[in-house]
Amino acid sequence: MSFQKCLLNSTYLNIVSLPLPFIYPISAIFPISSAQNPPLYQTLVFHHQLYILEREALFEGRKKSENKAKMGSLEPETHISFNGSCNVTGKNLSTDSVINLDETKGKMGSFEPETRISNGRCNGTGMKLSTDSVINFDRGDPTMYESFWQEMGQRSTIVISGSQSMSYFSDVRNICWFMEPELAQEIKKLHQLVGNAETKDRHIIVGTGSSQLIQAALYALSPSDASEPMNVVSAVPYYSSYPPLTDYLRSKLYRWAGDAYTFNEDAPYIEFVTSPNNPDGSIRKAVVNKSGGKMVHDLAYYWPQYTPISSAADHDLMLFAVSKCTGHAGTRIGWALVKDVEVAKKMIKFIELNTIGVSKDSQLRAAKIIHTVCDGYEGGDTGGVERFFEYGHRLMTERWERLREALRESTLFSLPEFQLDFCNFTGEIRTTLPAFAWLKCEGDIEDLEMFLKSNKILTRSGKHCGADPKYVRVSMVDRDEIFNLFVKRLSVCH
């Protein structure tokens, strides 16, 4: 064992059970000066500061906790103890190592019932789709990709044994200690292949879907000591989940402040920039552009099947997700690419408090899925199946053509038009083919959602996106048979 490891193990592990008032200064704990060994000293200082922060948080938490219920902070003992990290680092158990047998439990909420009642057999209920089935296009459930993955068969299968993935920890050398190294590697490879985002000098943070990372970003970008909550904005029409994700806990750190176009307060703010945009597919840039602003670039749809890849995105905080990239919404994996290490650390802290990391099983599955996608472009055996992004692009092209064709003569409905752009990934001029159709009623109907509902088509009203109820958002990424039924039914709606 190296001197560094030995020093960290023997000295550091022994002090974890000390109460807060007995936290020693670093010089008393580590018998080494910055001049003797600068890199080691820096490492020790970093760990020491991390430790003190966590002890403080724990001490505060214990003071406030009257009923002894655990509020979900991963206790520092777990963070640094042997039985947490040994699987990954190979450190040896010594007789005075901390043994951590504590646990923390959490529980999460419900799913909208409407989603479960329709799209019949396709949602796993065993029911058959009939001509008068309710079509649920309210959610963007990307089941369109199922047929591709069925064709991939064993090439995308992983087996996880009962003894695998058991620890909370994945890689304690990474600040994102719950991130599986294989997944980080595959994510970098994927971005390099597609050319849609810079990964160099970025921290990759995995989340339980990008929904969790949206909340982690809000937490990380809002100062904890501000007198007023941070304003959170996005340009109308915005992703309908931003307002509830911001406000559902009535946080004192941040609050939903609405449309970015009309935000004119002289106060700090966070702007969600979604490009291509959900719900209308537009290519976007930040609109507020004031000092004190922080941007979250939600690039969930910045993939070649949806839009030309015009450049590698290079923003401070970017979000992606397997749900929209490969269609694996149920795997619940998203990732953030973050420039600033302090922001990254706070996001990691949020995920630690929220879910003590992210399912390893899901991460390993996501890594395998991404690997399969990349492999197709690196000369791997695809078994004669089209490569993933070509497959996705072909389906999206066909669907958009069919929808436009069905509405070509319509005086009741209209769809947005998109510009052509050069795609660096394919070397072709292409148009945007959004995952949602932003359908507008040009007739007298004021509430398009209700009108379509009466025709057994469930959609999301524009009012949830800060827009007029004459608009609805319609999923373009459901299964073929449901999409076919939708186009047929819409074309006879008057």
Shortest Å distance, C-beta 333 to ligand PLP: 7
Q: Could you give the CA distance from residue 202 to residue 341 in angstroms, rounded to a whole number?
A: 8
- Nearer residue to ligand PLP within complex by CB, 329 or 467: 329
Minimum distance, C-beta of residue 276 to ligand PLP, in the bound complex (Å): 9
The reply on whether position 209 binds ligand PLP by CB under 6 A is yes
Residues 315-344 that bind ligand PLP (CB under 6 A): 321, 323, 329, 334
Q: What's the closest the beta carbon of residue 351 comes to ligand PLP, in angstroms? A: 13
Residue nearer to ligand PLP on the CB measure, 119 or 274: 274
Element (H, E) at 389: helix 388-407
As measured in angstroms, the least distance from the Cβ of 138 to ligand PLP is: 11
How near is the Cβ of 51 to ligand PLP at its closest, in Å?
A: 32
Number of residues this chain uses to bind ligand PLP (CB under 6 A): 13
Least distance to ligand PLP from the beta carbon of 92, Å? 39
Instruction: For ligand PLP, give the closer residue by CB, 16 or 221.
Output: 221
Is residue 298 part of the contact set for ligand PLP (CB under 6 A)? Answer: yes
Q: Minimum distance between the CB of residue 363 and ligand PLP, rounded to whole angstroms?
A: 13
Closer to ligand PLP by CB, 76 or 276: give it. 276
Should residue 43 be labelled a site residue for ligand PLP when binding is judged by CB under 6 A? Answer: no
Cα–Cα distance, 476 to 142 (Å, whole number): 8
Minimum distance, C-beta of residue 139 to ligand PLP, in the bound complex (Å): 8
- Of 122, 475, 134, 487, nearest to 323 by C-alpha is 475
With contacts defined by CB under 6 A, name the span among 205-213, 260-268, 351-359, 362-370 that binds ligand PLP: 205-213
Q: Which residue has the tokens 């590697």?
A: 185
**Residue with smaller CB distance to ligand PLP, 209 or 466:** 209
Q: Should residue 304 be labelled a site residue for ligand PLP when binding is judged by CB under 6 A?
A: no
Minimal distance in Å, beta carbon 121 to ligand PLP?
A: 23
Binding mask 231-260 for ligand PLP (x = CB under 6 A): --------x---------------------
Closest chain position to ligand PLP (CB): 209
Answer for which of 43, 167, 199, 211 binds ligand PLP (CB under 6 A) is 211
Residue 239 Cβ vs ligand PLP, minimum distance, rounded to whole Å:
4
* Interface stretch with ligand PLP, choices 85-93, 109-117, 207-215, 402-410 (CB under 6 A): 207-215
Q: Contact between 274 and ligand PLP (CB under 6 A)?
A: yes
- Decide if 226 contacts 369 (C-beta within 8 A): no
36-44, 208-216, 451-459, 469-477 -> range binding ligand PLP (CB under 6 A): 208-216
DSSP SS3 for 85? helix
* Region from 85-93, 203-211, 373-381, 446-454 binding ligand PLP, contact rule CB under 6 A: 203-211
What is the rounded distance in angstroms from the CA atom of residue 405 to the CA atom of residue 397? 12
d(CA 444, CA 449): 13
- Shortest reach from residue 280's CB to ligand PLP, in Å: 12
**Minimum CB separation from ligand PLP for residue 137, in Å?**
13
What is the token pair recorded at 277?
């945009």
Name which of residues 109 to 148 contact ligand PLP (CB under 6 A): 140
30 versus 239: smaller Cβ distance to ligand PLP: 239
Of the pair 300, 474, the CB lying nearest ligand PLP is at 300
Q: Report the interface residues with ligand PLP, using CB under 6 A.
A: 140, 209-211, 239, 274, 278, 298, 300, 321, 323, 329, 334
